[in-house]
Amino acid sequence: MKVLYNTNTFVIFAGFAILQILLTGLIDLGPLFFICVYPLFLLTLPLDFSTNRLMLWAFAMGLVIDYFSNSILGINSAASLVMVLGQPWLFKLIYRKGDMENQLRPGLRELGIRRFSAYIALNLLIHHIALTALESFGFAHFLQTLPRVLISLIVNTLLILVIEYGVFYKDYR
């Protein structure tokens, strides 16, 4: 039986949780924008993780973010779970067979800038739509929340690409 986590995964989990909590606590850019960098942790977990393990990590990350950012308890967990459920399908759409055979995690170096950007943006789109739909209790006000989703999607995709490039691949440059 595989272990649910290892020390490295837990340290990265804690680092992303702290980063997300600090960013949302220090930066408030109004109602049309929200910072969301913690999905990078979920989207770059090792490829051999089962869907159940991914869902447990997504639930835990979302719950930690909800608790420490004083948001509605469970809203980030639900959005993370929706994103993680679609992640394997989107990953199969983006990468070609054989590209990731010997790789541990899907990242910028493994996928390249175009495919990794598409992978992040599509998953963030799912996450942001789920998050705003849960916040507004449905899709009745979707046109009013669409600018928030799009602005947050663009800014968070760029922010996640900078974090991935700067933190995980210092020697990549």
pLDDT in the model for residue 19? 93
Condensed to tens digits (0 to 9), the pLDDT of residues 72-108 reads: 889 999 999 999 998 888 888 887 766 666 667 788 8
pTM of the model: 0.87
Domains along the chain?
Answer: 7-172 (1.10.1760)
Cα–Cα distance for residue pair 42/160, rounded to 1 Å: 12
Instruction: Name residues whose C-beta falls within 8 Å of residue 38's C-beta, 6 or more positions apart in sequence.
Output: 16, 17, 19, 20, 61, 65, 76, 80
Tens-level pLDDT at each residue, the chain (173 residues): 344 557 788 999 999 999 999 988 887 776 778 889 999 999 988 878 888 999 999 999 999 999 998 888 899 999 999 999 988 888 888 877 666 666 677 888 878 889 899 999 999 999 999 998 888 787 777 777 788 889 999 999 999 999 988 876 655 44
Give the amino acid at 80. S
For residues 17 and 38, the answer to whether their CB atoms sit within 8 Å is: yes
